[in-house]
Every structure is written in C-alpha cells, then in structure tokens.
Amino acid sequence: MGIKRGVSLYSYQQEEWFGRMTWREELKEVATNLDGATGIEIISEATIPHFPFPGEEFYQEWNFEMARWGLEAVTMDVFPDPLMFRRDHVMNEREQAERLKMELRIAKKMGFKNLRVLGSEIKTVALALPLAEELDIRINQEIHFPSGIRRGKGQFGGKTMDILEYIEKTGTKHYGFHPDFGIFKKGPSPMYIEYYFRTAGEEHWKEKSADFIEHFNASTNEEELTKWVMDTYPNVFNDPMILEMEFKKASAQAEDLKLIAPYIYCCHGKFYQMTEIPGKPGEYEEVSLDYENPIRVLKEIGYEGYIDSEYEGQRNQQDRGLEFMADEIEEVRRHHKMMKRLIGE
Amino acid sequence: MYDSFLIRSDSLENFEENGKVAGFKFSVRIANYRGCFLGLHNGYYCEVDGVSYPREAQRLAVNGKPPRSFEELMKHAVLEHWDMQDEAFLYVYKEGGLEKGTHRVGILESILGAYGSSPRDEEYVKNPPDPSLGIGTGKTSVVCYYDLELQG
C-alpha cells in the first residue's frame, strides 16, 4: 500500500472543450500512460453528459470502461450553485443539502467513494450526512488556496478547524478533508507571471517576468516587494485580486497536515507547469509548489489515499493561438513521473 | 479562458422572422470548465461595431431548442444543463440585421454559478446584475473581440 496516484479529468478540460478527447479516451490515457496510476476524479457536471440526467446507458458505459481499464472511482467534485432557483429565491440550507444528496446518489451509481465540496457550510453537509453514511460516501471539504489548515493570524484555517471540531464531536466517518497542494506555495509560477505581463500588452514579457520572479524570491519583506512591483509595473499588477493571490506565500505548511491526519481522504495534486529539473533529463518539478514536504508528511502519517493530478496551467496559455497552448497530456505524464519519484514507488 | 475561440469565425449571419430580417446571430461557447445550468445564465454583454445590445434583445438557442430569452431560461431551464462541449447560438434582435462585410463583435458572458453562497445572492435574485458589470464572467473576465464576416 502507500500513497496512490490518480488524475482529475479536470486536467484534460482543454482537450475536451476542443472536442479532441472524451472521458473514454481520458480513462485510457490514465490507465495506460501513467505507469501505475489507478484513480479517477471528475467534476460531475463537466463529465456527465446532460447532467444530472445522463440516462442509464451512461452509467453502464462508465462502469464498464472503469472496469475495463482497472480504474478506481475516487472523488466526484460538486458545486452548490446557490442561485439555481434565482427565478424566485436563493437556495436555502435544505435545498443545498438536497442538491448534495442528488450528487451523492449519482456518485454511488458511478462507484465514487468521495464527494468534494468547497463552499458548502457545515450545517448543509450535516443534513446530507445520513445519506452519505447510508451510501458509504465521504463528503470532503477541499482546502484550497488561500485557505489553510491552522487557525490564527495569518493561518487562514478557520473553516478547516471548525469542520475538524464537528468531525471529532460527532465521530462521523463520512466528513473529512481534501487538501489541494496549491496551499503549499513556494513562489510565483513563471507561466502565470508571463501571462500577466503578456496580457497587459508588455513587450519583453519573458524577461520582465524573470525579473519579477527574481525580486520575489529575493525578497523577505512583503510590503517592500509590493511597493516595488506597483512602482515598476503599475499596468500589470493593477488588479487587487491578482496582487492578493500572487503575493501571498503558502497558506499552509506541510506539517499542518498532521492536525487533520485521520480525516484526509483525498488530495488534489494541483500544478501549473512541469519543467525539467536542470541537469536531470527526464526528471520534472513544479517550481512554484512544495511537493516534497507534503508527500513526506503524508507518508509519515500513513496516508494511503490518492493524490489526484489537477492540472490548471492551460487557462493562462490560451491568450494566443492554438500553437501556444499547453499540452495537457504531456503535463500530466510529467506530473506523475514527479509524484512517482517523490512517493518512492 | 478560450478568449479567441468563444465565437466561431464563420458563424455570423442575419436571421429572419415573418419574412423579414429581424436581427443577427453567431455561435457561442461557454468560457468555463464545467458547463452550467441554463437557469443560471444571465445573458451577455454584447457589442457590435461599438453599439451594445441589452440582454432583453438577446435569445439563446441551445440544446437543439428554438431561441429562448434569458428570462425564460431563468424561469424554466433550472435543471437543463449546457454542457461544456456544446455550441449554442446567440440571437440578437436588430431590425434589418447587419450589413454585408466585417463586423467587430465583443462578448462577455454572465453566468451566476458558484462554489458557495455570496452576500450578494439576495440582491441578484431581486435584480439580476447587468452583464456589462462583469459579474459571473467565469474564467474570462474581459470582453473578447472578434472581427467577423457576415455570412450568407
């Protein structure tokens, strides 16, 4: 046993959007080209045709294809869309729980063991828990950047700790966590920074991006860095949200995982770009995220669940022609080479 | 996302109603990674040759059905999904349609799907935000422009 590797089909969103791959080809890719990956994660409405009414044939075909390739249905990601009934009202708690229950029933038919929620409140999840227990599917709160794990100033883990208290108080085995590796940020992703410079219409965006990253990595003072950036590149980083996201350092530390260790049921191996490690042909790294320490900690705590690749670099390479777009298949393959190395398979 | 690909370049045409040219239409794709329930679709900021056309002048033809207004989608397409892979057509009413030649079309979608509740939800139910405000733009937050040759 040990940590298992899987893929969220979200990673292949661009291939799907352009009609070059369907979920069937994606399952085959995961099963045959990732050297032992066995897990599949989906976003329900992205993968299931005519969601939420795909017809029985879809479920049969899905289960057949999963069995054919020897794959395990790990996690289904769902969204609450509280404005679904906006024609007359905002969804109330009970309606949000009903939407969750609908997703649980669909997940069961597709063999999934986990549901990933992000914005759902504890009281909503609590209303859906009896059905989750009956179907034996866990509802897991994603811990997504800029959220964190610990409570306290500069820690961003308030909701995580509230859920932990709820789990420990009730003893439920069907509510847990789904940390996303995006919380273990090391620095800016060069690919992202290049995108900001490029779409702001800056010439020499590659050089300017490199200059930005050099300053970022050398800086120990967030305020000084922000001032330098605002003075030097006022047209590029004028969106407060970009500033907030790009200037925040990691929102959690690898060791924080120990706090929620028994309740981690799945992880997102978020990544933006895999690049070859200098001097090591065929070996890859994600320079903007810490993978080594979180994987070390997951091993220490005896985690035997999945890390599912969640590739998200494609959207910041779509501002130019098709020839400049990311190769999602290659990125995921590289990601699995890295995970395999770090897990020590 | 997909900024250069949201409208198919050979899709701009005039359309007729009751034997008269009533407006123009072009293809649209969703700018996100999951599709949406159509009741959440709040229309487009739509600009052609510098003139903007309000949501009330727009209809969406999707899922093989005739063009529907965004009001109708909100009321009656609560559980009808627009899948990520599917092309739709935006119909825009403009008496006489567009003239022959190339037109500069800009669009920005407003889809009110969400990860969770927002303090503005109640307000959006009472007064759906105008698509020009840039709310619900998915992963494309700027107006995307296309130079399209009128077909037919």
Q: How far apart are alpha carbons A199 and A316 in whole angstroms?
A: 10
Q: Do A118 and B34 touch (CB under 8 A)?
A: no
The confidence score (pLDDT) of residue A229 equals 83
pLDDT of A25 reads 98
| pLDDT confidence of residue A241 | 67
Give the pLDDT mean for B17-26. Answer: 97
Chain mean pLDDT for chain A: 94
- Quick one: pLDDT band at residue A230, thresholds 50, 70, 90? confident
**pLDDT recorded at residue A247:** 66
A166 pLDDT higher than 80: yes
Whether residue B87 lies within 8 A of chain A, CB to CB, comes out as no
pLDDT of residue A343: 97
Residues of A in contact with B1 (CB under 8 A): 315, 318
Contact A87 B74 (CB under 8 A): yes
CB distance A110 to A72 below 8 Å? no
Among A21-35, A49-63, A237-251, the least confident range? A237-251
**Percent above pLDDT 90 for chain A:** 82
- In this predicted structure, what is the pLDDT of residue B142? 85
Which of A13-17, A315-319, B64-68, B126-130 is least confident?
A315-319
Nearest neighbour of B114 by CB, restricted to A85, A88, A119: A119
Per-residue confidence (pLDDT) for residue A240, from 0 to 100: 64
Average pLDDT rounded to a whole number, residues A22-50: 98
Contact B35 A51 (CB under 8 A): yes
Task: Please report, for residues A314, B5, B10, B90, the alpha-carbon distance to residue B27 in angstroms, rounded to integers and kept in the order given.
Answer: 23, 10, 9, 6
For range B66-78, the mean pLDDT:
98
Chain A residues close to B114, C-beta within 8 Å = 79-83, 119
Q: Which of A231, A230, A252 is nearest to A242 (CA)?
A: A230
Burial group, residue A282, by CB count within 10 angstroms (0-12, 13-18, 19+): exposed
Nearest to A12 by CA among A61, A54, A58, A47: A47
pLDDT, tens digit, for every residue of A247-295? Answer: 667 899 999 999 999 999 999 999 999 999 999 999 999 999 999 999 9
In A, which residues are within 8 Å of B33 by CB distance? 10, 13, 17, 43, 46
* SS3 of residue B110 by DSSP: strand
Q: Do A43 and B33 lie within an 8 Å CB cutoff?
A: yes
Name the β-bridge partners of B41: B111
pLDDT at B137: 86
Residue A221: enclosing H or E segment and its boundaries? none
DSSP annotation of A176 reads E
Q: Where are the domain boundaries for CATH 3.20.20.150 in chain A?
A: 4-187+249-343
pLDDT at A200: 87
Determine the pLDDT at residue B63.
97
Cβ contact A86–B29 (<8 Å): no
pLDDT tens string B99-116 = 999 999 999 999 999 888
- Residue A331 exposure: Cα atoms within 13 Å on the Cβ side: 26
Average pLDDT (A302-313) is 98
Count how many Cα atoms sit within 13 Å of the Cα of residue B34 in the half-sphere of its side chain: 24
State which CATH number among 3.10.180.10, 3.40.50.720, 3.30.70.260, 3.20.20.150 fits the domain covering A4-187+249-343. 3.20.20.150
Size of chain B in residues: 152
In sequence order, what are the beta bridge partners of B93? B23
